[in-house]
Amino acid sequence: MKLSQIVKILDASVLSGEKYLEKEIQTVGGSDLMSDILAGISKGCVFMTGLTTVQVIRTALIAGVGAVIFVRGKKATKEVIDMARANEIPLLSTPYSMFVSCGRLHAQGMKGLNGSR
């Protein structure tokens, strides 16, 4: 699924990475524990979290995440947005909870980090 489709499904705002909206995303994971993303199979996934710190971007870099989505309408600081932009990580914000966001993407065919549906 293209990132642009995910933006529509989640009524998301694009905070950075507008030029990457045609990127293909195969899996999605959600957690507020960065260790869950580091331990999971997260290469190229969409990573959803309610945390908006620079540690999220650092974790995304290490794990090879394809995009980060802040849930519950969370907004990032300029520092976080600038770090995501500098590292070419698309950064989005959705008004939906993590549960609803994951459910909406699952209903459209997205798979979990382990590839299951």
Give domain limits for the chain.
Answer: 3-109
CATH architecture for segment(s) 3-109: 3-Layer(aba) Sandwich (3.40)
In this prediction, residues 74-101 reach a mean pLDDT of 96
- Determine the Cα–Cα distance for residues 16 and 100; give it in Å rounded to an integer: 23
Tell whether the model's pLDDT for residue 111 goes beyond 70: yes
On average, the pLDDT of the chain sits at: 91
Half-sphere exposure of 25 (CA within 13 A, CB side): 32
For residue 40, the model assigns a pLDDT of 72
For residue 41, the model assigns a pLDDT of 66
List Cβ neighbours of 39 (8 Å cut-off, separation of 6 or more): none
Radius of gyration, alpha carbons of the chain? 12
The 10s digit of each residue's pLDDT in 14-49 is 999 999 999 999 899 888 888 777 777 678 889 999
List Cβ neighbours of 68 (8 Å cut-off, separation of 6 or more): 46, 47, 48, 49, 56, 57, 60, 84, 89, 90, 91, 92
